[in-house]
Chains A and B, each alone.
Chain A
Amino acid sequence: MTAVTADSQEAYEAVFDAAVAADERIEPRDWMPDAYRATLVRQIAQHAHSEIIGMQPEANWITRAPSLRRKAILMAKVQDEAGHGLYLYSAAETLGASRDELLDKLHSGRQKYSSIFNYPTLTWADVGAIGWLVDGAAITNQVPLCRCSYGPYARAMVRVCKEESFHQRQGYEALLALSRGTPAQHEMAQDAVNRWWWPSLMMFGPPDDESAHSAQSMAWKIKRHSNDELRQRFVDICVPQAESLGLTLPDPDLRWNEERGHYDFGAIDWSEFREVLKGNGPCNDQRITQRRRAHEEGAWVREAATAYAEKHSDRTTGGTSGKTGEATA
């Protein structure tokens, strides 16, 4: 690679800025500022990690799902999450990162995942509450990402959002069945919503005046709306849904504000949020320990696959194509 002079650096930047301003997509082979690349790697990796860690709280109920239909829905959902993780690691790899390196950063705590997955799933209703609230918050965050300036990420989001919307409806429907079920089931549903409401609101990140990366991400059109804007949009969507579910949201300050045309809601406990992000939430250790263990206990399997591929690479390419020269060319 030839050295980039100050002049050409400026020229590249001008082309990039113009593309972003014109709402064109930046693609993997395009020039991009180092900081744009680094921000995207960080954000996409953490998004991928969230899908992978997010499998755990739900997988916790696969073996105890109360009907075969619900069990099938839950298994399909957890499978989709692994698939989303794969799309997202692929998107991060277009920026020059590798999946192994990103997983290593997750396992060693150098990269984060969504704070929400550090809360435990204590009852079956939590599975429904996660579908309704957690996937609902994720969709509110991710739909604008379908128009993100970086093409591979935007395209991954289109696929992810389609599946997430499906999961969200299923979660809502599972909660509805509980809410309309026996008194014990209704109570289970209400308890789950009480426990998941505030952590779901925290998924939108810190308030706008404390959000470190927001301004730059918005200028680059990675982000399209501020944390507080998205959080408000989510609250406005959830309140009528809670009413039709026949469940309440655990916030005494929640009320319609005619003037603003939005729901006002109570203060979020940001000290809890910071503790969870620091690693002191209820399940932080458990989640990372299980992820690390799965990876370590699977090492011999991955080594076997690599060893087998090395032994058989010549034989397979030579044997099936008949063009032995090409395999080593």
Chain B
Amino acid sequence: MTTTLHTAALALGDDALVLSHRLGEWAGHAPVLEEEVALANIALDLLGQARVLLSLVGDEDELAFLREERAFRNAQLVEQPNGDFAHTIARQLYFSTYQRLLYGRVAATAPDTGDETRETLRGLAAKAVKEVAYHQDHAEQWTLRLGDGTQESHDRMQTACDALWRYTGELFQPLDGLDVDWRELEADWLTSVAAVLDRATLSLPEGPRATGWTAGAGRQGLHTEPFGRMLAEMQHLHRSHPGASW
């Protein structure tokens, strides 16, 4: 077992867990029935990924329900509140593009039969890359519809893309144990996102990506304010019954 790989599994598992939770908040509130199905579907895929990743590190429920805010390693992007549908879609576009590119690379790394954790992670990446391709397609299709829909939807989508931009740089902080060229990953991500925004008649946001003091320390356990409240809701029942099984 490699402890460095645990750091990566924890970070990626927390990303999936937290974003899944946010998407779960949409249940019963989506703009159209088909989106109730789609958002829940994505949330479920992510929760499935989270469970595999967290189980590599320890007990999934202990990790999800008994860690405090400062021990979570998810990127700040995924903990951002849902906002309007455009914010949810922008967050999803940024994140699924990242996940697809990253999992694609992890799945393509050379097998290492001597390292069980690494092999599990490779297997997860190979399965998850198919799921996240769907997520990315869903987010791209909505980015196009909102960006190139009505004036109102265009403005909302641009606002959302701008507002979340500062949280995207953090995604490319190297994770220990993953043999990935992070600079190339970031360049590919930028190319992909820029192309979608361009087709959606949106402009690529300007400004700092994770260079300011507020954005980009989630991997170090420094989160944004809404995250603590999210955890309070997620954990309260589990914590109210110590040692119980469900």
Contacts and interface: CB of A to CB of B under 8 A. Distances in A.
A82 B36 contact: yes
Considering residues B17, B44, B156, which has the most beta carbons from chain A within 10 angstroms of its beta carbon?
A: B44
Nearest to B239: A66
Interface string B24-54: 1101111111111100110110011011001
B162 interface: no
Contacts of B30: 294, 298
A55 B36 contact: yes
A136 B64 CA distance: 32
B40 A72 contact: no
Interface stretch (B93-101, B120-128, B140-148): B140-148
Given A59-B27, A300-B150, A86 B33 contact: yes
Interface size range of chain A in the complex? 35 or more
Nearest to A185: B244
Interface in A282-313: 290, 293-295, 297-308, 311-312
A85 B33 contact: yes
A181 B245 contact: yes
Nearest to A64: B237
B44 A124 contact: no
Contacts of B21: 63
16 contacts: A52-B33, A67-B238, A67-B246, A68-B17, A75-B40, A75-B44, A82-B37, A83-B37, A86-B37, A177-B246, A178-B246, A294-B28, A297-B29, A298-B30, A301-B31, A301-B85
Given A68-B50, A78-B27, A290-B29, 9 more contacts: A62-B25, A76-B44, A177-B246, A185-B244, A299-B31, A300-B150, A304-B149, A307-B149, A312-B148
Interface of A: 52, 55-56, 59, 62-72, 75-76, 78-79, 82-83, 85-86, 89, 124, 174, 177-178, 181-182, 184-185, 290, 293-295, 297-308, 311-312
- Which 7 pairs from chain A and chain B are nearest by CB? A298-B31, A304-B149, A304-B153, A79-B40, A59-B27, A82-B36, A301-B31
